[in-house]
Structure 1
């Protein structure tokens, strides 16, 4: 028996003796033939054509035309041009032929949904479909048997997928890297590990240091451990085209001899020792969280801004050059000044402005535009309109991700078909790994998007908005300086000042407790408000 459960057929299909004796069409009926061949299959197009011609001769059928798809997977219906051309011609009324003959149902379509859809469409148009190797009894249970054949073919593809993954994990546990490209400084060498079913040698892929680049890579790591910049390392080693490529290099565990593949750790020759690796990781962590010259770390907002006594520090920007405006003091006069102007990097003309003046204007405008009860209906309408737009954008993004996942599933199905036909080789394995990595990235993005919008109300209620704004008003007029600053910087996304006008961009958080809302919590940005400066300066 063959691996699909059918009787195995010899290579020369003209000698087949297991063709169904029954033919659902009378002698003299006209038919088309559909023939498809995937790489590595025993039944070639010519063999299938010979078998179909013999079947037509035995039953007196007139073969009008044969549609042939060579080296194409059954799982990718869209790319099978001959199949699509046959479907287009089949839409004629009346039907140009009485039936369609093919080698087996797996030649027609291997994916269950495609098979059922196209079968139903063709039969609705009056065509009789004939598989010459699948022995399906005529009668009430004919469609049940067909469905079982389609289910079996689909399950076989899934089994091939599971077997391929198990084979890759087995290779990984033996120290071979099944797929992917090694990082700079490594190369792939092939080592024979056995023989394929077709008699060809099977190779495993080993990652080893590239002697032409190994010393340059080691130098790059030593320089980074010593505190050199990416630009200095790039000038000395020229390992990449630009300095921006080195960041990912210095977090890649391959260089310390560890590759993680599908949860399996693979040991490879290390280029850097453990001590150098740890020094570089400490530097990378300090860059990520922030680190002062005295060795004190911070996360998130810079400590100078976090502890600043200036209410608008971090959200006030120059409306002319875009630089952050920083708090400053000359004798007893505290004010904000364009950061570029303060450092004398340019000739910015934005004037200094008193902290009392601009902070008073911001608080006064915030109370008038946002916190007053009479503004609640218009504000609520604005917020809910933006919520609806955000939901629509999220839905469009989600549909785009789902479409890309579906396309990748089709590509992965093609690769699994190729594995089924000719075995697992390096090229197919690498492509399968790449496609599955892309699919996993899209799944993570979809989970992030769903989590981001999970539990969000499609509309904000008046009571919820009143509660949020009441907390802001209490913080602005009753709390201490730290809470007042926190409230302002939660409610205002950005302020631009050019000497003549102030542009305020408000953002309303959707959390019911602004005191515990983490940075980056969901919020709704409102249209900016322009405030003209008073005439007297």
Structure 2
């Protein structure tokens, strides 16, 4: 490779020519044995013997790739043996699309493991960058993330120059090429599926009540073998059950009644019927994306039955877009939206318990979704903790003595406000910079439609909101240090607040009680036998004849919910 001694610009041109030549090849034979050393590219930044590496392997599935991941693994192991690399972990995503990282469990596990400094390897081996991901934004983001964590990413087959200038340009070209290849493949597949459906054929798995017909020859493949397709026809074992289910639903029968009538032969759970009763397949319509072909196959129901069932679907309050969905009516928990796990800081989730043994409790959201290994916290009884927090607010936070202590501590803490004022000035400069960055990201997203630009725009928006909240908090602290409130006004406000929240507790309207509690509690960190309450005072309630205070006083207090 004599050209490596030329200028960076000439190097990039040579590499682009190599990529262009490679992209024109339809197929190639994977080398083995002694030929491997001439085919695979040596690891430029992993030359130290014993360097630790991970390997990420992926294929897209299908008959042509059924052995792809095992072949990649065999070559990776041979590659590590040749260059004396220590292969400590292999991540495999079999039959997973490269168009997105969603659903690629081992890819996500690899990213999560890279967060732990002691587990990070020196490098990551991939067959090529297309195996890593075919989405340009994902590729840019995750490669930058791994590299910032000190991990060298090495493609065994993509020709990447050693110099930093040329490597970044060539990688970008490869990523663009991979993404365009994915788009072309997706368009070709969708076009092929639509063509099959429009001709009366039925790709994919038949729905309940249908089965595939005998194979039908449709053209010849490139390898000379016949291309076999099929149509959908009625399944005599389930056909009458399908008609029965639709008829019962049109009459307004419940899903449980339909489940019992069909004896579990169609579905084993009532929850599985929702998609069944929305499928236009049973009208005899063939569907492929936005294409709908009438009289595609034999219909199981009439249009009248379809309309009756869809009317019931629209009236069902459990539908996500229904205005009376339970989550829109309100979650019957007092701490919804501002309670966090005392152990890990994740948002707490409320659970009513089993229907046969109801017991309301709060549980760490991370533990609820990912399991006990991610958080060691325990479940907290809802009634016990809610009562303890409400009692603490009424009997401690909303008392004149406690308020006086807060005022005294605040004045002592902020007697010299020069440092706070400097911090506010710095935050305001930061807010201006974030406004500019947000506008740039928004312009980039509008011009290019880049998902990475959209992600940056969301990130800047969150940072901007956080900075503005910090500014408001610091300004309120300065104002609180100069606060003068008549003792009579404090006593009147405290009495009124306690009366209002006590009266709210007597009713059954959880949302009303929560609205009052949220006026005085901005955050609760909840543990099994203790809680940290972050309180706030709505100072506009201290309205006097000569002043109106419209800023909060914030603080925190420990409370034992036991």
Indicate the structure whose relative CO is greater, using CA pairs within 8 Å and at least 6 residues apart: 1
* Larger helix proportion of the pair: 2
Q: TM-score band, normalised by the shorter chain?
A: 0.3 to 0.5
The TM-score, its normalising length taken from structure 1, stands at 0.39
The TM-score, its normalising length taken from structure 2, stands at 0.38
